[in-house]
Amino acid sequence: MTIHKTRMLILGSGPAGLSAAIYGARAGLKPIVVQGIQPGGQLMTTTDVENYPGFADVIQGPWLMEQMQKQAEHVGTTFMYDIVTGVDLSRRPFRLTGDGGDVYEADTLIIATGAQAKWLGLDSERHLAGKGVSACATCDGFFYRGKKVVVIGGGNTAVEEALYMTNHSPDVTLIHRRDSLRAEKILQERLFANERISVLWDKTVEKFVAGGSPEGLVGLDLRDTRTGEHSHIACDGAFVAIGHSPATELFQGQLALDEGYITVEPGTSRTAIPGVFACGDVMDKHYRQAVTAAGTGCMAALDAERFLAEAEFAAKRAEAA
């Protein structure tokens, strides 16, 4: 068993975690990043990135994360290829255990474990991911300008995605497996008032249909949840909007959660436990963008740096008293 001691431990290596690492390292805190089950986060599965500031041309998600990691390493961050399986936040230094038995002791902890979009779980969905099937209209909607698209779901996320897509598409269809929506009433009113959006009720997706050259999405095979009748809808793009799952299982019972997301003090990254901070999609149920994740990663590092400085000042004052 190896014990790794650090002033700043960061869980997660997506845009939030790497931004926190860059700022923490530049402050001389020599952070350790535990990369987790998906090093690089969700952008590692994103091909074309067109909305990250600073790049005039389309860039690749994996390339962007590679560059961010190199930058973090260059300024003094240590990366551990490990998965944390145990967390004790009852006292400082915080004590975390990796699945290989290594122990991490940290004066501050930044949680940037992210969230994963929920998928329908179809083989055809997985096959066409990035080829017409997406889980983020804000990320990929621009690629479907003037084309016919569908949004799958019935909650706030689905309605918001459908409304957003009317900025790009004149023909948006919302597909829901029930006969009423779960979204907030004000969102429903906006949806039903939008002439660009139509709704297919009581329909579930059985298959995402591929075709064309190069191969991409050309439509969806549907089944009526009441009658069992089968139908088909042609489309160029499909957005699965059935929610997200933040990676917070480790912190249940130790940190306050809101619908699974870590609760932070408004306008900060501070959790209810002094010295523990959260950033990125693990605490952001609204935006879930790479650039907002990176911004909150910066906030978390600055909050942690200030926490350490204040703690050290208080300790010195206590010694002098």
- Residues that are catalytic: 136, 139-140
Per-residue CA distances from 173 to 143, 154, 182, 192, 239 (Å): 17, 12, 17, 11, 10
For residue 158, the SS3 value is: helix
Question: Measured between alpha carbons, how far is 60 from 66 in angstroms, rounded to an integer?
Answer: 10
Question: Measured between alpha carbons, how far is 71 from 222 in angstroms, rounded to an integer?
Answer: 46
Question: Measured between alpha carbons, how far is 240 from 59 in angstroms, rounded to an integer?
Answer: 23
Residues 6+ apart with CB under 8 A from 297: 15, 16, 17, 18, 19, 20, 21, 23, 110, 112, 279, 280
What's the angle, vertex CA 82, arms to CA 20 and CA 116, rounded to 5?
A: 65
